[in-house]
Structure 1
Amino acid sequence: MNTYLKLNLLGNCFQQRCYLSTSPILHSWFVRLTNVTQVNTEAATPKHTRKRNYPLTYEQRQFPKLIGHTKTWNTFNTSNLRDGKRKAETVSDDLFLRQFIYGTWHSLFVSELIIKRRHNMIILSGLVTRTIHPRRMYFLIGYTEEILSALLKTPVKIEIQTVENKEDVIFTYW
């Protein structure tokens, strides 16, 4: 193989960010494989549908790159600051809280669960549909507050707002 052809093959590999110096067939297959997996990938950003019929809430429509500008975090946690206490416990508590709420309030929450920590109190907030009787909703609020307060050994308060149905929280279609 002459040197010009070798340099040309290596030049093509460097242009396509591939450092294989094997056959052109394997090289083109490898480039296609890596490009397919790297095209249009962005975390937590929904893809457009053809008919634009995928509903998004306001929270979902504000993309992750806008956190700090038009969007805020779903968990307010200051234990990760310098000299903070209970770093790992706080994260596992948040995971437990989300699982417990979504299991207890099965398909009633139409928004994300917001967890706020103020001093030693945990405040849970979100939007709930009005599909159950108010007496049952009050029972769920009291039950959840009592059980979580006993398990986490800290006061837990739930602040919910109700909406008529799930379509009321749709901000746009994507």
Structure 2
Amino acid sequence: MATSCRCSRELSKLFTTIRSLRWNQLALCSERNIHTTAASSKNIRSGQPKISIRQDKPLTYEESQYPHFIGVTKTWNSWNTSTLHEEGRSSETAVEDIFIRKFMVGTWPQMLMSEVIIKRRQNLVVIAAIINQKIMARQMYFLKGYTEEMLSYILKCPIRLEIQTVKDKKDVIFKYI
């Protein structure tokens, strides 16, 4: 009889502590608290080129910038508004950008010195690139017209190419790592 009385007292104490804990948890949950901390562990290794042993790997200005500097010292490679809220065609725009880049690499073989920058302004698509001066000016103008006409026919919107030329790859090298 003494053990059952002691067990019932312990059970009643346990239930009262559980009830008090529940009330405390409910009181904590009913308050709206925001906890913010600074990002202490950024992933800064992804997207960075590896340093070579002899430090003879050339980098352009855009390649030498770290990924977390996008929007500060480095710009986006595609400028469009399809990723805004309630905007359509985001997947089509991404596929078209990939197609434009592959078309440029195939049309201008071994002449692209930098990445292809694509800017979309309303219906106009502006493509910017730095090209090597391997070919004569007449051939370069032909390739420019060919690229604009073919892409405008395929994408069904006006295309404008902004090309800058350099004589040598050394002209676009920013630093060696």
1:67-78 equivalent positions in 2, closer than 5 A: 67-78=70-81
Candidates 110, 121, 137, aligned match of 1:134: 137
Q: Deviations over 1:41-75 (max 9, x none)?
A: 82220111111100000010011111111111010
For normalisation by structure 2, the TM-score amounts to 0.74
Runs of 4+ in 1 over 6 A off after TM superposition: none
Candidates 101, 104, 110, aligned match of 1:101: 104
Q: Deviations over 1:102-130 (max 9, x none)?
A: 00101111011000000100000011011
Q: Secondary structure at the match of 2:174?
A: strand
Q: Secondary structure at the match of 2:170?
A: helix
Asked whether the equivalents of residues 124 and 159 of structure 2 are also in contact (C-alpha less than 8 Å), the reply is: yes
Do the aligned partners of residues 117 and 41 (structure 1) sit closer, same or farther apart at CA in structure 2, a change above 3 Å counting?
closer
Mapped to 1, the partners of 2:87 and 2:138 lie a distance apart of 40
Aligned to 2:170: 167
Mapped to 1, the partners of 2:73 and 2:124 lie a distance apart of 26
Aligned to 1:114: 117
Mapped to 2, the partners of 1:102 and 1:56 lie a distance apart of 19
- Is 1:60 equivalent to 2:63 in the alignment? yes
Structure 2 gap ranges (5+): 1-42
- Partner amino acid, structure 2, of 1:85: G
- Partner amino acid, structure 2, of 1:130: Q
Asked whether the equivalents of residues 60 and 173 of structure 2 are also in contact (C-alpha less than 8 Å), the reply is: yes
Mapped to 1, the partners of 2:154 and 2:117 lie a distance apart of 19
Q: Secondary structure at the match of 1:170?
A: coil
- Partner amino acid, structure 2, of 1:171: F
1:39-58 equivalent positions in 2, closer than 5 A: 42-58=45-61
- Partner amino acid, structure 2, of 1:76: W
Do the aligned partners of residues 76 and 41 (structure 1) sit closer, same or farther apart at CA in structure 2, a change above 3 Å counting?
closer
- Partner amino acid, structure 1, of 2:53: R
CA RMSD in angstroms comes to 1.3
Which structure has the larger Rg over C-alpha atoms?
A: 2
For normalisation by structure 1, the TM-score amounts to 0.75
